Structures are given as C-alpha cells and as structure tokens.
Amino acid sequence: MSPSKTKIKVGLIGTGFMGKAHAFGFTNASRVFDLPVEVELDTVADINEAEAGRAARAFGFAKATADWRDIIADPEIGIVSITAPNALHKEMALAAIAAGKHVYCEKPLAPLAQDAREMAEAAEAAGVKTQVGFNYLCNPMLKLARAMIEAGELGEIRGYRGLHAEDYMADATGPLTFRHDPAGGGALADLGSHALATAEFLLGSVTDVMGDCVTVIDARKDASGATRKVEVDDIGRAFLRFENGASGSIEANWVATGRKMQHDFEVFGSKGALAFSQERFNELHFYSTDDAAGRQGFRRIEAAPAHPPYGLFCVAPGHQIGFNDLKAIEVAGYLSAINGDGAEPFNFRAGLRIQTLLEDIQQSSRERAWRKVSG
C-alpha cells in the first residue's frame, strides 16, 4: 500500500502454539510499529494438509501446503519461520539458508551445539539474517535493566542470581515427551537457556561454569505405556563467573510445584540493585544508594512509555503488555535488522552461544568440576 516500503513474504513451518505466536508476531509487529518493511503472510506448511489449511485461514496466510519444501522453493518468500519440532530445525534452516532466505527459528536452535554451530556458520556465510526466539529479552523492563547497568546506575556489578522455574513436569505420572530426549532435552536446556540468555544479556559473557544437573523423577511412561528411565535433568543449577569480574548462579527447574513463570533475577552492584520476576514482568524493582538516608528501598518501576517500545502498545503507563506483545517486539527488531537497521536481536550466533553454555554446564555437572566456557 505504501510505495516506499519493501514488501517481504513470510513462509511459516509449523502450526502449533509457536506457529501461532510467530503469525501473531508478524501481524502485531506490523500494526504496532512503523516498520520499514511490509510483511505479507504468504504460505503456511504443516505435514497435515487440513491442518495447514485451517491455520492459513486462522492466521491469515494466503496459501497452505503439506510440504515445507514448497516454502523453500518459492523464490518470492523472503523469510522462513521455523516452529517445527526441534529435531527438524537444522535441516529446514540449512535448506532455507541455502535458498538465500532469512530464517527465524524457535529455540532451541538445535538440540546440540555442533548443529547450532553449523547453522550459524551457514547463515553467516550466506549473509542472511537470522533470529532465535528468546522473546523474554525483548521486554522493555529488561532493556531498562541492561541500560541501567551499562550506564553505571548500579555501580560495579558484583553478584547475580538467575532463575527459571516452572512446574509443567512436576507430575511424576506425566508421560515422557520430546523434552526428555537425551539429545538436547532437560530443564536446563528448556528453561536454563532463558536464564542464561538473560544473565549474559545483562552482565555480558560468562567465562566459567560449575554445573549441578539433577534428575528428580527418574522414570516415566513413554507413549506405549512402557516405563522408561529419564536421562535428562529436572533441575539444573550452575555457579557462574562473568568476564566483568562478577560471580553468580542460575537455576532451571521444571518440577517447581506452584511456579508458572519464575524467570527471575537479582543483580547487586556497589551502588544499587535490581530485582525482577517474569511473574510480574511489567515491573522492575530498583534500589539505589543515592536515595536519601531513611528513604532508601526497592522501588517498583512500572512499565511506561518512558521504557520503549512500551509506548507503541499503550500511551499510558502501568497498563501492561502481555506475553504475545514480547513476540511482536522481537519480530519488529528482526524485521528492522533485515532492512539493515541495527543488529538482529538474537541471531543464530547468539543461539549457538546459549547451546554452548548449556553443554558446558551439563559437561561440568557430569565431571563434577568447574569448566571454562568453550569458544
């Protein structure tokens, strides 16, 4: 409609929860942001043809297909969104990259770091823009937290505690799922990846780790009803050392009964501190030693137009954005990067970094010893 905007067509692989989230993301990003590109939802692929058709109608795509390779083969499609099962990410992404397309892949990039590395290197060689779905980082309050740290509002950073705990695996009678796959599964991989991404987003690179991965429910039934040994962690902990000199810890826990979204952190500096919980992700709690004596305390900063891009969603403070809005912010950042405006928010190289950290922590846990982070 606007002659000045580049049009870009999107192909989506996968129609489940994350497929829907990607579709929302593209639609909402276009509505909320004044994007430099115009997105067209072109084709959606699902191995089940009827499902593909239903999703096309529901999500607003022009076409449906049962074969994801149709998307790769379509020269008009510029962006491929991959929300298929983790084990398929690599094949799909490499095919899309080979076809010169930008690739937006749900996390984890791949079950194993070596695969993620191949994907990142292929994308970089091809010069396409990539994105991995770490949407918690797109929260305006996390951007605020990072900006405050970088601006020195907390002084020298000294300590960090990160957490991502939920309870969707707390029921011991629940079945074995793909998340229990020894290749890439476990609470640390599923949730700890978020905790690690947030830790490095805020404090910079982790240099050393000491892992503690624990299997709590050691057997579950598989789809056939047979009891199978669980080989992945239900709780994954790590001590951390950061390049900036700070130390810290993270915990990933998917058997944390009662917790639904405890992606939390506290960061302590010489002049201030921050505390955050994803349970109330429109708030950031800030303590400053600059406050007057007898008037100091953690103050609850509510998300507001002063914290971009909150104001694009709502002109008034305190009204709160939702989980799906984080996805829209992520997509907008990615589309800007595709247009040449700024870096990708979290590209394949960043996704590889998280996979590497995870494997180092898992290896450290097996060896019961501290470990330098690889690469």
- Considering the rule CB under 8 A, would residue 314 count as an interface residue with a second copy? yes
Closer residue to a second copy (CB): 275 or 352: 275
Closer residue to a second copy (CB): 180 or 307: 307
Closer residue to a second copy (CB): 96 or 255: 255
Applying the rule CB under 8 A, the residues between 137 and 156 that interact with a second copy are: 144, 154
Closer residue to a second copy (CB): 59 or 68: 59
Measure CA 342 to chain center: 19
Applying the rule CB under 8 A, the residues between 248 and 307 that interact with a second copy are: 249, 251, 253, 255-261, 266, 268-273, 279-281, 283, 285-287, 289, 291, 293-302, 304, 306-307
Tell me the window of 44-52, 101-109, 121-129, 321-329 that interacts with a second copy (CB under 8 A): 321-329
Give the Cα separation of 199 and 358 in Å (integer).
Answer: 13
Applying the rule CB under 8 A, the residues between 41 and 70 that interact with a second copy are: 56-60
Closer residue to a second copy (CB): 118 or 239: 239
Q: Residue 273 corresponds to which tokens in the numbers above? A: 């501190």
Of the candidate residues 77, 109, 203, 321, the single one contacting a second copy (CB under 8 A): 321
- Considering the rule CB under 8 A, would residue 102 count as an interface residue with a second copy? no
Applying the rule CB under 8 A, the residues between 195 and 224 that interact with a second copy are: 210, 212, 214, 216
At which residue do the structure tokens 């695969």 appear? 115
What would the 3-class secondary structure string for 25-89 be? HHHHHHHHCCCCEEEEEEEEECCCHHHHHHHHHHHCCCEEECCCHHHHHCCCEEEEEECCCHHHH
Applying the rule CB under 8 A, the residues between 110 and 129 that interact with a second copy are: none
Tell me the window of 66-74, 119-127, 159-167, 188-196 that interacts with a second copy (CB under 8 A): 159-167
CA dihedral 78, 82, 87, 92 (to 10 degrees): -20
CB of 246 to a second copy, least distance (A): 8
Q: What does 157-215 look like in DSSP terms, one character per residue?
A: EEEEEEEEE--TT--TTSPP-GGG-TTT-SHIIIIIHHHHHHHHHHH--EEEEEEEEE-
Applying the rule CB under 8 A, the residues between 163 and 202 that interact with a second copy are: 166, 168, 170, 172
Applying the rule CB under 8 A, the residues between 336 and 375 that interact with a second copy are: 368-370
Of the candidate residues 98, 324, 341, 366, the single one contacting a second copy (CB under 8 A): 324
Q: Pick left, alpha or beta for residue 144 (phi over 0 → left; psi -120 to 50 → alpha; otherwise beta).
A: alpha
CB of 295 to a second copy, least distance (A): 6
Give the Cα separation of 300 and 315 in Å (integer).
Answer: 19
Q: Residue 268 corresponds to which tokens in the numbers above? A: 């302590």
Give the Cα separation of 304 and 318 in Å (integer).
Answer: 6
Kindly determine how many residues on this chain lie close enough to bind a second copy according to the rule CB under 8 A: 90
User: Which helix (DSSP H) or strand (DSSP E) does residue 365 occupy?
Assistant: helix 348-367
Cα 180–Cα 183–Cα 185 angle in degrees, nearest 5? 35
Give the Cα separation of 111 and 18 in Å (integer).
Answer: 17
- Please state, in angstroms and as integers, the Cα–Cα distance from residue 349 to each residue in 235, 331, 343, following that order: 26, 17, 12
- Considering the rule CB under 8 A, would residue 229 count as an interface residue with a second copy? no
Closer residue to a second copy (CB): 226 or 293: 293
Is 357 within 8 Å of 210 (Cβ atoms)? no
Closer residue to a second copy (CB): 5 or 228: 5
- Considering the rule CB under 8 A, would residue 161 count as an interface residue with a second copy? yes
Applying the rule CB under 8 A, the residues between 1 and 40 that interact with a second copy are: 1-2, 17, 20, 23-24, 27-28, 30-32, 34
